Amino acid sequence: MALHASFRKIPENAKLVSFGNCFRYSESNWNIACEFELPDSTTSKIPLAIEALPALAIGRVYPKNRIVRPKSNFLAIDLPPTSSWSIQTMADYEKFTTRKKLSSEYANQLLFRFSFKQRYVWIPCIELARVLFFKTALNTRSAFYEANLNRLIDVELDGSHAHIRLSETYPHSLLDIKAHQSYIAWLNLNPEVTNSYLSIFKNILETSIEKSNAKVWLFRFEPFDMSDVFIRAYTQNHGRNVLVEEISSVANLPMTDQFHTISFHHPLDIKFEKDKVPKEDKKPGGQWPSENFDPETTVDESPSNLSRARILDVPKGALYFNEILNTQRVFEVQVVEVAAKDESKKGEDDQEPKTTTLSVLGGKGKGNHKSADFKSLDDSSPSDVGFFNYIRNGLEQLKVIEHLGVSEIFEKADVIQSSQAKKFLYIKANTKRAFLYAQLEIAGGDHIHVIEIDLSDDHSLTTLAFRLRDDTRVENTIKAILDDLVKKSGHWDRERLQQMTLMHACIRHPNELKPDMPETVYKSWAVRIANAF
């Protein structure tokens, strides 16, 4: 069961409205001042450890069970070259909009400003850094405390094969997420991206100020060139001025194409194989005691262990790259004895599980809490796309059309992977567009291939059906067709289809796709597909 991030210091249902300065008392940790609006409309300034930043965004509300994002304006924004951006302050923004009087701490916070479609876009520096770099508490901590990533990550290059070796402190279970593997590769294999991340620590050294017993810093960093990148974001709109509160996804990020394979190594990536010892020779063993976790995470006290972090769910962001990487994990194989259950300890296993508290801080592993980190990226799972139920029903009707003799239908769903990172590739924030491929076995051992695209965003497109001269090339053909589709912004490339297929047909959908369509509508759709062949 997923654990959702919740913080003791944040009052229930408080809404984050602004960030203040980063500060650090002597011999203490870096914190950031946060202003929250409480349910009674009053505000409260609460300092939080910078390790909480992956879970913090302006406009988010913090109940005790999970973090939520209320509905607000949502906008897709094409980013111009960073050379055209200017650095502004929140005070500058307020001059052009609400003219609200801000305290000097909040008024001085930095934003990037640029022009977009006759409007001015303002992005807080800390929000852009959050969505690009602050994916885990560990990576966030490293950005503030270390001049490089060498303690966490070691990169070894072998021609076009890159090996990324992670320290044992890196949250192991995050490697189960392909999107997280791509993030680590992007951060470490693109020098301009790595330097942008490291500029956070460089700016702390150069621009932080000593005040009495504390070091104070106004957050800033140097972004890499983001020409042709586009973002989707929740915004506040005031006339021609757009203030970005939270960036939900970033697409077309520059990714190196120098490596055909990227292998990940982690000390805890171990595959256990059972030994061949006879059952009577095995030593009895018990079970690990179960644990309950206090849902409220501390950001004030260090954990007792740093290597096996419990993972906390937070609202997901998405990073999409202009190159698709082939990533893999390298496992060490260990042979182990599988212990028989010791009946004498049965009662011990049935004891009431203890309650464990969690901490996202770093430290020396001597605290009273268990280590925790955030799951801020996720892989797409296209098989459950409801839109595909329409074509599934239509294909089922093909089985009763005699002249085709459909004996079997094989299908699979996946997200579109394309080297062309255009807007059509993403159906909504955090979600790549999916497709369904179906292969119909017909009389005589021939095949008809069908591609249906997820159009739940009301994009207009037909169903594609085709036959091939050589069915062994179907995988390559599908990839080429989808790449052309994205390249042409969601339209079939008829000329290329003519070259790649023996014959093809673009079959129009029913006039209106809705869940309660009568069976006759599906039959008509099936007949149109059948008549094309």
Q: Identify the three-state secondary structure at position 463.
A: strand
pLDDT of residue 1: 40
Please report the pLDDT score of residue 490 as a whole number: 92
Strand partners, 112: 87, 123
pLDDT of residue 302: 54
38 pLDDT above the threshold of 90: yes
Q: What is the mean predicted confidence (pLDDT) over 59-88?
A: 90
- Looking at residue 4, what is its pLDDT? 63
Residue 447 has pLDDT above 80, yes or no: yes
| CB-based burial label for 238 (10 Å; 0-12, 13-18, 19+) | middle
Question: Other CB atoms closer than 10 Å to residue 480's CB: what's the count?
Answer: 16
Are 453 and 438 contacting, i.e. CB atoms less than 8 angstroms apart? Answer: no
Residue 295 has pLDDT above 50, yes or no: no
Radius of gyration of the CA atoms of the chain, in A: 27
* Cα dihedral across residues 294, 299, 300, 305: positive or negative: positive
CA gap 510, 530 in Å, rounded:
15
Q: Are 219 and 124 in contact (CB under 8 A)?
A: no
CA–CA distance, 163 with 179 (Å, rounded to integer)? 17
In the predicted model, is pLDDT for residue 337 greater than 70?
A: no
Domains of the chain by residue range: 70-264, 382-532
User: In the beta sheet, which residues pair with residue 78?
Assistant: 230
Cα–Cα dist 287/347, whole Å:
11
Arithmetic mean of pLDDT over the chain: 84
Share above pLDDT 90 across residues of the chain, in percent, rounded to a whole number: 46
Query: What are the two backbone dihedrals, phi and then psi, of residue 59, each rounded to the nearest 5 degrees?
Result: 95, -15
Report whether pLDDT(411) > 70: yes
pTM of the model: 0.68
